[in-house]
Amino acid sequence: MDKLIMLMRVRSSTVADLQHYLRLGSGSKYGVLAGDRLGYRISDYHENLTIHTDEDNSWYWGIQPNREAPNEYWTTCKLEFNPAKVGKSPQFDVFYCRLIANCKYIDFKQFDVAIDIPYSRSSVHVLMDRRNYTMKHYGGEEFTEYLGVGHAHGNVKIYNKQIESKLDYPLTRVELTMSYSNCTYQEFKRLFPNVFVLDSLGDDIDGTEKVLCLSCLEHPEYVKMLGRKMRKKIETLLVKASLVLKPDEIDYKDILSQILWYGKGIPVEKFVELEDTNGVEFPEHPGFEPLGGSQEEMI
């Protein structure tokens, strides 16, 4: 899970206390306030805070959507964070537990599933489908491909993680955005992109042959339209082209289980390194009203 977006209805007094502490800047119990701006559009949150941890990671906290009238007792908040990064921070742990202990309800909105492929960006290819396809090229190995609409359910993003994270080894990341209201494994499998690697084809393939190979992967019927010699070579290349991404039901449901742990208010470090959540009992958190339904029903 690369990103989780959730809405919370929190006691207004708790929100005010946390804001005061962050803006006062005395100490770093809840992290350091790195960004503080007002939103003016009807779709914005009135206050938008970016909070940094000592490990130089950050999360977003939106307070009071402009489309809602303020309430003296309860305030709607939006949290957007990367569990793999801030989930390991004691500062985020304290901040999050303070919120959820004074929370009336939680509504999970969206999350990203990230898959890292240990190959260079130019070796990883995606087949186009009915989703809108776009590409942004910044030169060399730095380019990003998109399927779907940005930040919407079913959106796919493929980019060079090696350049972004300044790594000394090749790494390409594939991200798939899922809406929590439609996050069944069947839906995940339906939206899963056709991504494969063309890295083991050797140096004896030219640009034309690579284009033909890519075209025939997307449209297998094109192979029959090639001449005998070229058809034989392309068929050999297609055998070498290994599909590297396949949806895994167990791994995906483990992500859904991790999301539910946030809903129950368990301290973050309790599941960051969790390997098997099957059969785990979810204890109640004081001051929290359960979302309702069993773990199995929600998954």
Q: What is the model's pTM?
A: 0.78
DSSP letters along 212-235, please?
A: HHHHHHH-GGGGGGS-HHHHHHHH
Owner of token pair 């499998």: 189
- Identify any residues that bridge with 59 across adjacent strands, giving them in sequence order: 51
- Tens digit of each residue's pLDDT, the chain (299 residues): 989 999 999 999 999 999 999 998 766 789 999 999 999 999 999 999 999 999 889 999 999 999 999 889 999 999 999 998 898 899 999 999 999 999 988 999 999 999 999 999 988 888 888 899 999 999 888 999 999 998 899 999 999 999 999 999 999 999 999 999 999 999 999 999 988 887 655 556 777 887 888 778 777 778 888 888 888 888 877 776 656 688 999 999 999 998 988 876 544 443 333 333 333 333 333 333 333 333 343 33
Whole-angstrom CA distances from 210 to 154, 183, 201, 204, 220 are 28, 36, 9, 10, 14
Alpha-carbon distance of 80 to 68, in angstroms, equals: 19
Alpha-carbon distance of 18 to 30, in angstroms, equals: 8
